[in-house]
């Protein structure tokens, strides 16, 4: 849902507003509220964060975060999953994870909701890639497909269950197939 304020807000003014549930993003001067996650979206998001973190977090390679606000390049976006390499994790003055991430993720993952505009989601993925992100995924639970967006390469459409999903260079130990990803939607498989 696009919210048009009575006067145009700057990014700084947007960041002062209270958070909404679901989250709102600031894109090209507009405030766009993301749709409320539903069952398939939430299932894939939760399993994906857990699966990615099981591979990259113990070795201090990277860390996957669900619904993390990332503000950079004149936008404030909230990818469904944002993965940051360990050396780029924003820290506060005490060395703890910062509350504010004023940078792009190294890997951005979006899970399409039925009422969500695929164009707007792809636009956010491309914004991340143009800033320096290494990989983007657009997961479509309805079509049981994934479009992978490697940085500076042609997108890759994946729908065959046996195909392994491409990952950024820092996550090559993650071996996840299209079939495994969508098997999480069946409670008997979890």
Each residue's pLDDT tens digit, 86-136? 999 999 999 999 999 999 999 999 999 988 889 999 999 999 999 999 999
Q: In 3D, which of 23, 130, 152, 20 has the Cα closest to residue 79?
A: 23
Q: Please determine, for residue 6, whether its predicted confidence score (pLDDT) is greater than 60.
A: no
Decide if 91 is inside a domain. Answer: yes
Q: Which is nearest to 129 in space by CA: 111, 112, 151?
A: 151
Quote the pLDDT of residue 5. 47
pLDDT classification of 7: cutoffs 50, 70, 90: low
Q: Assess if residue 147 is contained within a domain.
A: yes
Tens of pLDDT along 12-51?
999 999 998 889 989 988 999 988 888 999 999 999 999 9
pLDDT at 115 (0 to 100): 84
- 160-174 as b/e: b if 16+ CB within 10 A: eeeeebbbbebbeeb
- Return the pLDDT at 37: 84
Q: How many domains does the chain contain in total? A: 1
In-domain check, residue 72 = yes
Question: Which whole number is the average pLDDT over 160-171?
Answer: 97
The structure's pTM equals 0.92
CA distance 82 to 50: 13
Mean pLDDT of all residues belonging to the chain: 93
Residue 183: inside a domain: yes
17, part of any domain: no
Report the CATH number that the domain containing residue 141 is assigned in CATH: 3.90.1570.10
For residue 7, being part of any structural domain is answered with no
CA dihedral sign of residues 19, 69, 115, 31: positive
Q: Which domain holds residue 51?
A: 35-189
């Amino acid at each position: 849902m696009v919210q048009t304020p009575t006067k145009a807000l700057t990014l700084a003014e947007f960041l002062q507003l209270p958070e909404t549930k679901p989250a709102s993003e600031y894109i090209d001067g507009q405030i766009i509220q993301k749709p409320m996650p539903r069952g398939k979206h939430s299932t894939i998001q939760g399993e994906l964060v857990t699966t990615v973190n099981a591979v990259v977090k113990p070795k201090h390679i990277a860390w996957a975060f669900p619904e993390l606000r990332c503000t950079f390049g004149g936008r404030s976006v909230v990818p469904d999953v944002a993965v940051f390499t360990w050396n780029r994790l924003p820290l506060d003055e005490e060395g703890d994870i910062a509350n504010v991430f004023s940078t792009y993720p190294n890997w951005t993952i979006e899970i399409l909701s039925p009422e969500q505009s695929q164009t707007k989601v792809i636009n956010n993925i491309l914004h991340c890639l143009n800033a320096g992100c290494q990989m983007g995924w657009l997961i479509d639970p309805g079509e049981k497909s994934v479009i992978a967006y490697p940085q500076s390469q042609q997108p890759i459409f994946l729908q065959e269950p046996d195909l392994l999903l491409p990952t950024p260079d820092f996550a090559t130990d993650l071996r996840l197939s299209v079939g495994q990803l969508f098997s999480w939607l069946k409670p008997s498989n979890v």
